[in-house]
Amino acid sequence: MNKTLIINILAITATIAPAITAATSAHAGDYARYYTALPEDVKTLQEPQAPQIPDNTVSIADFGAIGDGITLNTEAFAEAVKAIGKLGGGHIVVPAGVWLTGPITLKDNTDLHVERNAILLFTPDKTAYLQDGSVRPCIGASKRHDISITGEGIIDGNGEWWRAVKRGKVSDTEWNDFKRMGGTEADGGKLWYPFNLKTQKNIAPDPKTQEKMRTHMIRLTDCERVLIKGVTVQNSPKFHIVPTRCRQVIIDGTTVRCPWNAQNGDGIDLMYCQDVLIVNNTVDVGDDGICLKAGGGEKALQYPPVARVLITGNTVFHAHGGFVIGSEFSAGIEDIVVRGNSFSGTDTGLRFKSAPGRGGKTSRIRISDIYMSDIRDQAIVFETSYVNVPVGENGSAEKTQAFLPEFTDIAISNVVCRDARIGIAAQGTAQMIHDISISDCTISCTEKIADLSGIEAFGEGTIKLTNVNLQENCNNDPSATLLLGPRAEPREIVGGKHRFEVKTTL
């Protein structure tokens, strides 16, 4: 398409720009209401700056794209990004249709607007993502500013063509569906890799190497002023939304989903990000729901901590954890407020996981008004010997005393949970878990109120419970209730060979 034609198209389509601009750029002050009544010691949290998108608009169809689900539109998207960039930025509209494409790279002052009834579908051809020896994300940007992904449409990563599958996590019908795609069985038929598929080329010499090359759906690196709003992000090859070393980020009203058994199917993962609002999202995924990470080991120290993050108004259905810190966070996690969220059907509720060699320190983590039901394992759990086991591998804990996790300065209050298997669990030493406050909570459990069997040197200054009602309801036996509050006598929670004395605050 020649330059004259592009400018003519821009002139015609610019008439629809104001409506989109009003929806995606005029955010100054819109989120201020979420930043009222913050805890006194995390007043540094401030409303993130929204991206500024110029009033220019193009449709992907203007560049020869066809939404028939068959035509590959990678080149058309690249041309649209280039054209809007020449105008100083603007909106790239994806209208109703099924738009098959390879990876999309966004540039400064650009909004990718996926309209209702539009499905942005990423090609299962893995070779399309290769670039200079690395694998590009489905949607990516690096060292950019003022970027947004908005709309009411669907962004689908075609993840089933990338992910390994464990036999024990799928039905016979599902297993046979995967086998019909071709692929390679391993581990005595307990594992299936999308390697040597009938219709897709490999990008590595063997299944395990290719497994390590799985890409993310939306990965934005070293970007400033980012908005992801309204879209459904589903079926990623790996993690779904992964801002990394970004500042001024808003993730608002998205739906993030994939099969419950999707390998490494994390929902929203923040890595080394600062000044972030995660609000009003719905997450239903195969791994961690909303997770904070800050790198593991010495190399992580060159980057800033995750800091000044507000997480509120979100609902998490299936996930390994509703809200998670870890497992790697050596650069630190600080000034985090998590309040007014619901978890229903997650494996764990509030999960703090790490291990020697990948740990860091938490500071001023304030969690309140969390509502949970049908939690498969623990409502609240601290793990300090977590082992990350890649699919098909045998994992083992790193033998080191460097970068020990230090979960500290964490205050959890007003948690209501019905039907967790275990109420509160902790595993580690007083060096790794200390100065934790849990107050004004009611947690009912189907198996045990607490599991502290992995605690070593656990005592004063570690976890303090105040006005916490832990009830074991598996036999509907009222005598199993443990009430910790102003009117209760000090009681003991017994875990294995250790005793944890809970002292009430009068």
Q: What residue ranges do the domains of the chain occupy? A: 165-207
pLDDT of amino acid 506: 24
C-beta separation of 369 from 416 below 8 A: no
Mean pLDDT (10-residue bins), the chain, 506 residues: 40 43 49 94 93 98 98 98 98 98 98 98 98 96 98 98 97 97 97 98 97 97 98 98 98 98 97 98 98 97 98 98 98 98 98 97 98 98 89 76 96 97 92 94 92 63 88 58 42 39 36
**Side chain identity at residue 223, one-letter code:** C
pLDDT at site 454? 66
pTM above 0.75, yes or no: yes
> How much is the pLDDT for 490?
41
Element (H, E) at 76: helix 74-86
pLDDT of residue 474: 55
The beta strands (E) that lie in 401-473 are given as: 410-429, 436-456, 463-472
Pairing of strands 134-135, 130-131: antiparallel
- How far apart are the C-alpha atoms of 165 and 169, rounded to whole Å? 8
First-last CA distance in the chain = 76
Burial 23-46 (b: 16+ CB within 10 A, else e): bbbebeeebeebbeebeeebeebe
CA distances from 214 to 4, 258, 285, 494 (A): 40, 15, 17, 44
Give one DSSP letter per residue of 343-370, joined into a string: EES-SEEEEEE--TTT--BEEEEEEEEE
Burial of 298: CB neighbours in 10 Å, binned 0-12, 13-18, 19+: exposed
